[in-house]
Amino acid sequence: MITVQVKRRSDDTIKEITISGHAGSAEYGQDLVCAAVSAISLGCVNAVELLLNVELPAKQGDSGFLHVQVPDGYAPELVDKVQLLLEGMIASLYSVAVSHDKYVRIADKLKY
């Protein structure tokens, strides 16, 4: 199962996102649920960096692991844009989780 953990600040902005595990909905290389989660999450990280010219600290590892931290200290005009892109990522991951609830679980205090 893929687990998405979202940690938020007291103002409900995203502080960090951790994604780990494999869906196991098909054989390795054929798992469309894993492919969807990977495409959504890595596409969002790339979008933040390419569109906003902001380095978003991210660590990628084995077994579908991705950890993204949103540092304090971004220029005020960037904070809302970074958060909007990340919220879009979470909303897209919720769509996958709704369709494939046996394979994706999202832990976030906010629900879409």
22 is catalytic: yes
CB atoms within 10 A of CB 22: 15
Residue from 101, 107, 89, 98 nearest 38 by CA: 89
Task: Choose, from 22, 44, 67, 100, the residue flagged as catalytic.
Answer: 22
What residues contact residue 7 under an 8 Å CB cut-off, 6+ apart?
Answer: 14, 15, 16, 17, 18
Task: Choose, from 34, 44, 67, 100, the residue flagged as catalytic.
Answer: 34
34 is catalytic: yes
Query: Which positions are annotated as active-site residues?
Result: 22, 34
